[in-house]
Chain A
Amino acid sequence: MHSLQFSVPLLPTSRFKRHSVRCASDRQQLFNRIAPVYDNLNDLLSLGQHRIWKRMAVSWSGAKTGDSLLDLCCGSGDLTFLMSEKAGADGKVIGLDFSKEQLSIASSRQYLLSKACYNNIEWVEGDALDLPFSNGYFDAITMGYGLRNVVDKRRAMQEMFRVLKPDSRVSILDFNKSMQPFTALFQEWMIDNVVVPTATVYGLAKEYQYLKTSIDEFLTGKELEKLALDAGFSYARHYEIGGGLMGNLVAAR
């Protein structure tokens, strides 16, 4: 048997820059490494507010009872569990991520939380750039703090468009790359003086320094709207939340 050797950064639509911080494989390993403390750090660093932002993201997705739902870059499953509650027993939720360690934690949480409706969740290890789903399958898609980490955002948007049913929505929550100088400065200060020192205590300074680079390389709200429209979505709107530090892109097929 021969292993497949696919180099994601060499895809024709990739924007691989010489000075780019990491390729897909590096990012996958990064998320494997931070998996054990990911949830705790999210709570600590956002003072628990990430839970509110995630509820907003799910609301914006339009997910409802009986739906087939997809949570991309699901990590340890925060958004997946919220989507599961929306879908109910007659619905289905797929949580997809490329980090085995994050999925392992998600799967354990599913068992430990032991809410009956969470039986509607299935975990899949997969790549947001090559989704293992047929066209027009899902009623809604969420993606929390994932788009910023994919090496080809255009391709990720195209895949989301492909697997969505007509008249359905994708809701993408992430850090906001603010055009307001004060907000951008405050965000940078927070990362340098709060996030990284806290992560250092857990031995993850380098991993969380990546956050600043990834926000620098991310797209602004307007650019994200354009990305969605270019991918074929008929409607795209980016909402700033969390005092402008976070943003949620809502796009409809």
Chain B
Amino acid sequence: MVRLSKWLLKEAGTGVNKTLSEILVCPLSKQALRVCEEPPSLISDSIGVSFPMKDGIPCLVPTDGKILDTDDTMKHDNAADDSANNK
């Protein structure tokens, strides 16, 4: 039952597996990644790029990355702050 729940959550892409987010680094800078819950993604602050999560699977091929402009960086930061405040 636990396994089914975990699999369903991953498939729904509703969260980034905490253990995985600790193992992974930016494929280009090899620096740590920051988790963004909404939309599910991994942010490389070192190069200002966002990598998506799809169906619970992190997409870290360099060409999957999207360069964040300042507005996007702020949106991601605000989302992270909101979720921290709500906890």
Contact = CB atoms under 8 A, between A and B. Distances in A.
B72 interface: yes
Interface residues of B, number: 35
Interface string A76-106: 0000000000000000101000101001100
B12 to A, nearest CB: 13
Interface secondary structure of B, over-half rule: mixed
Contacts of B65: 3-4
B63 A6 contact: yes
B30 to A, nearest CB: 6
A130 interface: yes
A133 B24 contact: yes
A135 B72 CA distance: 30
A107 B19 contact: no
Dominant secondary structure at the A interface: mixed
Given A4-B62, A4-B66, A130-B62, 15 more contacts: A1-B67, A2-B66, A3-B63, A3-B65, A6-B62, A98-B61, A100-B54, A107-B56, A122-B20, A124-B24, A127-B27, A131-B27, A132-B24, A132-B27, A133-B24
Interface of B: 3, 6-7, 10-11, 17, 19-20, 23-28, 30, 33, 49-50, 54-69, 72
11 contacts: A1-B50, A4-B65, A92-B19, A98-B61, A100-B54, A107-B57, A110-B7, A124-B60, A132-B24, A132-B33, A137-B23
